[in-house]
Amino acid sequence: MTKIFLAGNISINNEIRALLKNKAEFSESYSDDIDLVIETTNFPADKKAENISSIDKSIPSQIPVLTSSLCIPVYKQCTYSTNPARLVGIGLYSTFSKAKTIEIAPSKITDSGILKNAEKLLAELGLNYSIVPDKTGMVFPRILSMIINEAAQVYSEKIAAKEDIDTAMKLGTNYPYGPLEWADRIGIELVYNILASLQRDLGEDRYRPHPLLKEMIDLKRNFY
């Protein structure tokens, strides 16, 4: 049975434990017999760097590290690590387990053997995955964050009520959730940080997070 060490976001870690119940063993401490490390921090960068440094000091260098890379792409995380070739990005967020596939993203210096080992372990765990480029936001979370940002704009201008925005998107696109409901599910703070990272990395104003998102984070509010 695959032995996994989890570090990072407690909520996401609990979701992984529930998803892989009876499929994997979870180590509560660093040990030499671990098969896979999953680091689930998306932000802030200093916490991510601290966790990767601790992993490097405690886990043998041949062990793959799946590291959530929605806000900090793997090529940037490589600067935190003494073993950057073993880092493989993964898109983890609250409710990720309800998606049909998980996105993973090797960097340009990820060791091919490490990647194959990580893919083998994911397959053994029964997880569907897609390999995507090592970019901020990956694919689905990036697109979803942009949709949520536009929905926040429409809502802030009082063009439509939040329920009407969500209903229109569900009926018009067959989405399982409306964008504002989806924001609550994956976390408004994560959406904000994905958008802020995209704007910082690409320098394009279209990625600028709507001020309403920051206001809701500061007030600890959700849309519903």
Assess whether pLDDT exceeds 90 at residue 77. Answer: yes
Q: What is the pLDDT of residues 115-137, one digit of tens each?
A: 999 999 999 999 999 999 999 99
The full DSSP string for 158-172 is TSS-HHHHHHHHHHH
Domains with residue ranges and CATH for the chain: 2-131 (3.40.50.720), 140-219 (1.10.1040.50)
Q: pLDDT tens across 95-117, in order?
A: 999 999 999 999 999 999 999 99
Distance (Å, rounded) from C-alpha 212 to C-alpha 223?
10
H helices present in the chain, as ranges: 10-19, 45-58, 74-77, 112-124, 140-156, 162-173, 179-186, 188-202, 211-219
28 against 191, higher pLDDT: 191
- Whether residue 156 contacts residue 209, with contact meaning beta carbons closer than 8 Å, is answered with no
Identify the bridge partners of residue 37 per DSSP, sorted by sequence position.
5, 65
Average the pLDDT over 204-210 and give the result.
96
What distance lies between CA 206 and its chain's CA centroid?
Answer: 21
Separation of alpha carbons 146 and 128, rounded Å:
25
